[in-house]
Structure 1
Amino acid sequence: MAKPAIGRTQLTRRGVLVATAGTLLTAACGSDETNSPGPTTRGSEELIIGASLELTGPGAAHGVLQERALRITVDTLNEEGVPVGNLRRKIKMIYRDNGSRPETAEQQATELIQKEGVHAMLGGVLAETSLAMLTVAQTEQVPFISLGSADNIVTPLTARTYIYKLQPNAKDVVEMMSDLLLARKHNTVGVIYSGGEYGKTGVGALRSKLRSIIKVESELPNTGSNFSSAAEKIVEKNPEAVIIWAQAPDSGAALAALRGASYGGQIIFDPGGVADDTLADKDKQAQASGALAVHPASLAGTSLTDTTMADLDRRDFIYRYIQKHGAFRGFAPYSSDAVRLLANAARLGRSVDRGRIRVYLENLTAEGIAGSYEFTPIAHGGMAADSLAVFEVTSGAWIRIS
């Protein structure tokens, strides 16, 4: 019997998205062809966006990379400005470091809205910081795009009308993991996962899909703690594969603990494990050799043979990143797509009015740098399932294998 396909309808869906929606960069900078009614805001000639990111603390492994992507994209968009009604507006980004603390993120969200007068916000790489920010954003009715991952960031929808997220949905990641386990004939699996909303979402999706083959589960203690006991609980049951559902640096620490406990089986990471920290040195690369990860396909970068507008924009982004930071690290630049989505919504709505940005954001379908998105009034996230791919650690790098 042929092995099941790991990818899912990639050509059809991505082709439709490219053909019908174009790219976020092209849409945001292109001419205004909408016939939408509505006034043009004439006060400020800027589109003001606030960003609260994890530049320090446990979330910095992802937060710093998102800040880099965001600064590159804002500079790119500001070369020509964003057409909003009869004005071409520059994007004014206001950056804040929330230190990976939810209470700080909540305070910053309040200040960005009430003192800085932002038209929209983005941020919250950690689920907890996103949840803290979205409470303020929803109350103040300010569009907010979360960079975090947890089911309850965008549900229940009746209480999240101004809230959107970009990271892949857990069920889509788990579907690909299920196909991968079946293709490799792994009949038992262990799950080691982080605490909090991120781990809760992941393990819930895993139980729903893989309950019959999950042999053991183990929750990780707080970041910076000793993970040995959690790893030993997994190793005692000796599953054929272990899924690590945790964000860096916890994901890499969990891997080290498993290897330290003499586990030599297959390791599979969720997207949160793909960060510089996981392959930071030769020891970590050796521990991760052969490990697999489900992650947005943007991790593979781009090639000279890619010819769609999305591919060309992705290539331009990668070039700019290399020019500025020396090497492209392969992270999924959710913040890049977030600012493009907000700029596009303002363009379509011909206004920086918060309510109008929300309305047009709610109906966007687009191919971004990190992946594809399709927002509707009944679905506010995340990334389309066919934006995902499987990668393997080979010679210290993430190499796409499907």
Structure 2
Amino acid sequence: MQSIRWMTAGLIAILATAGCAATETQSTGGDIKIGASLELSGPTASIGTAYRNALELKVKQLNDANVLNGRKIELIVRDNQTKPDEGIKNVNGFLNNDKVNALIEGGCSACAVAAAKTIEDHQVPAIALASASAVTNPVDQRQYTFKISPNPSEDAVVLLGSLKRQGITRIGLLNVNNVYGQDGRKSVTDEAAKQGIEIAQAEQFGETDKDMTVQLNNIKAKNPQALVVWAVSPAAGIIAQNAKNVGFTGGVYLDAGAGAELYIQGARDAAEGTHMVFPSTLAANDIPGDSPAVAVQKKWYQDYTAAYQNYSGFSSFAADALQMIVNAIQQTGGTDGKALRNALETMGIDGASGRIQNSAQNHSGLQPSALAVLEVRGGQWHLTN
């Protein structure tokens, strides 16, 4: 695509001095540069690739529509390899060399957390696609960082609420042992206590583990009615297969990080009948009504599917991040970092992921109403009956 410039990661100094935004960054003319640090290699490369596809499609749509009155959006993509050190290199390169106007960070929570101070020092707004609460909290130390994906605590409320309504009172918990997984573990534990649900057995696994049979046997031995899994793909799919192999017959419930279509591909026949909390756009054809907000979700689903012949659940997060940056530029009439930050902090949109509403107290504005519990039926995600 003509409007997109692909750049590979180079060796860039990690330490950078803070200073005022460059003149180019503050200007009201010229192209808009947006840097995207994504997971294009490493264990979550499939997710980063979906983000890149979504950003490329959204950039083309916005440029073709001339939404910035002659100014073009230039997307600069680098691979963070799912490594915080590489993520910091990328962010420094974007800020010091490319002089980008805004940043989009991928799904690597540890990468986003590690880059937070650098972003604060340079006063250039960033929207992360990662889910850990620490990406935007504490807000007073993350003034220039926002995120789109749901908070683990919100995922837990929706999941545990669904289990409670089904009369499930005893669950097992299996999470990856990293920032994202520990956040989920705490959120599920806290919400289970509120809902009166017992965690019969809680287990963890390493980021690079390829078999979780031991942990699942430990959970199965305690006879839980359901299993809650906090894992990204490919681990989420492996867990579903392992659970089937050990003879676990309870329901399997995943958080939004599981990978949507990537989870189904990895879990194969073991995916059937499993559940996940996710923005309802993933099952766009099941969403009732024809309101303008629903129309936005359905159109993005259709556009992405037409462009790439399948739909990625993660794509809506990337599309909304870019749309919010463009809305902030339109609102402020320029690209001054502080002005954009202020616009993003009070912004509300009906996005491809659902309703997003930021505030001074909450830089993670995807609303709980955007989330639903979905089920795999016939190899596809559908809203739970």
TM-score normalised according to structure 1 size:
0.84
* Equivalent position to 2:60, from 75, 81, 91: 75
Check whether the contact 2:210–2:235 (CA below 8 A) recurs between aligned residues. no
1:400 matched to 2:367? The reply is no
What is the CA distance between 1:42 and its match in structure 2? 4.4
Check whether the contact 1:221–1:227 (CA below 8 A) recurs between aligned residues. no
What is the CA distance between 1:302 and its match in structure 2? 4.2
2:239 counterpart SS class: helix
CA distance in 2, matches of 1:219, 1:305: 38
Identity among equivalent positions (%) equals 26
1:115 counterpart SS class: helix
Higher relative contact order (CA 8 A, sep 6+): 1
* Equivalent position to 1:246, from 224, 231, 234: 231
Distance 1:304 1:236, change over 3 A: closer
What is the CA distance between 1:147 and its match in structure 2? 0.3
CA distance in 2, matches of 1:42, 1:205: 43
1:280 counterpart SS class: helix
* Equivalent position to 2:350, from 367, 381, 385: 367
Aligned twin of 2:41:
56
Aligned twin of 1:98:
80
What is the CA distance between 1:320 and its match in structure 2? 2.7
Check whether the contact 2:51–2:106 (CA below 8 A) recurs between aligned residues. no
2:90 counterpart SS class: helix
CA distance in 2, matches of 1:146, 1:223: 23
Aligned twin of 2:3:
none
CA distance in 2, matches of 1:134, 1:82: 30
1:237 counterpart SS class: coil
Bigger drift between 303-312 and 363-372 goes to 303-312
Which letter maps to 2:301? I
Deviation string, structure 1 residues 327-383 (Cα, Å, up to 9, x no partner)? 224445201000000010111111111111101111101110012111111111141
1:279 matched to 2:264? The reply is yes
Bigger drift between 312-321 and 202-211 goes to 312-321
1:383 matched to 2:366? The reply is yes
- Root-mean-square deviation (CA), in Å? 2.0
Bigger drift between 123-132 and 157-166 goes to 123-132
CA distance in 2, matches of 1:308, 1:89: 31
CA distance in 1, matches of 2:240, 2:109: 22
1:118 matched to 2:108? The reply is no
1:318 counterpart SS class: helix
Distance 1:113 1:294, change over 3 A: same
Aligned twin of 1:186:
168
What is the CA distance between 1:71 and its match in structure 2? 0.8
TM-score normalised according to structure 2 size:
0.88
Structure 1 segments unaligned to the other structure (5+ residues): 1-39
CA distance in 2, matches of 1:135, 1:397: 41
Distance 1:145 1:231, change over 3 A: same
CA distance in 2, matches of 1:99, 1:337: 23
Check whether the contact 2:54–2:315 (CA below 8 A) recurs between aligned residues. no
Check whether the contact 2:293–2:351 (CA below 8 A) recurs between aligned residues. yes
Aligned twin of 2:184:
202
Which letter maps to 2:201? V
1:170 matched to 2:155? The reply is no
Which letter maps to 2:43? P
1:269 matched to 2:265? The reply is no
1:232 matched to 2:223? The reply is no
Aligned twin of 2:125:
143
Structure 2 segments unaligned to the other structure (5+ residues): 1-24
Which letter maps to 2:97? K
Which letter maps to 1:81? N
Aligned twin of 1:131:
113
Which letter maps to 2:379? G
Distance 1:245 1:93, change over 3 A: same
Distance 1:222 1:172, change over 3 A: closer
Check whether the contact 1:61–1:275 (CA below 8 A) recurs between aligned residues. no
What is the CA distance between 1:275 and its match in structure 2? 2.8
Which letter maps to 1:226? D
What is the CA distance between 1:196 and its match in structure 2? 0.9
CA distance in 2, matches of 1:329, 1:222: 22
